[in-house]
Amino acid sequence: MKNGTLFTEKQRFTQWWFWLIILLVVAFAFYYEESTLERVVALIIPLFLFILNLETEISQEGISVRFFPFHLKKKFFAWDEIAKAEVREYSPLLEYGGWGIRRGRSGIAYNVKGKMGLQLVLKNGKKILIGTQKAEELKQILVERENKK
């Protein structure tokens, strides 16, 4: 890890059912569509989905998140902007309407899979949830940071 970095995580859409659906759509397009354009689009969409990734980094300065390729630069939240940071279980479908970059009744979510996330409540009242596959490691980082205050 880089100097000052406490935590990093990079996630992709790796669910088998997700890729099965994509594969079926591509197969359908190649079987039923005679147009080269539709076939090209049917190939571009899975490639685009393959490069999607969610990057999270926690440092001494704050928390950053990037959902590539939608965010070319990381979104950074300094610790002094954050009122509360905790790991919690959530429902992607019920709270945010699914996966990806989502707006829901619980604020904004950046997630690709699972049901655990880092919930940030900013001092301005905004809520951001960042999905994680490393919930226990994240909890430990937050506890250690809190103990150093």
pLDDT in tens, 79-102: 999 999 999 999 999 999 988 999
Q: Which pLDDT score is estimated for 76? A: 97
Distance between CA atoms of residues 12 and 131, nearest Å: 11
Domain extent listing, the chain: 73-148
Q: Which pLDDT score is estimated for 107? A: 93
Distance between CA atoms of residues 1 and 10, nearest Å: 13
Q: Which pLDDT score is estimated for 65? A: 97
Does the pTM surpass 0.75? The reply is yes
Q: Which pLDDT score is estimated for 2? A: 56
Number of H helices, E strands in the chain: 4, 9
DSSP state at residue 4? T
Residue with tokens 């059912």: 17
List the end-to-end C-alpha distance of the chain, in Å, as a whole number: 22
Mean pLDDT by 10 residues, the chain (149 residues): 80 76 78 75 78 93 94 94 96 91 91 94 97 96 85
Q: Using alpha carbons, select from 7, 25, 3, 1 the residue that is nearest to residue 145.
A: 7
Which DSSP string do the residues of 56-114 spell out, in sequence order?
A: EEEESSEEEEEEETT-SS-EEEEGGGEEEEEEEE--HHHHHSSSEEEEETTEEEEESSS
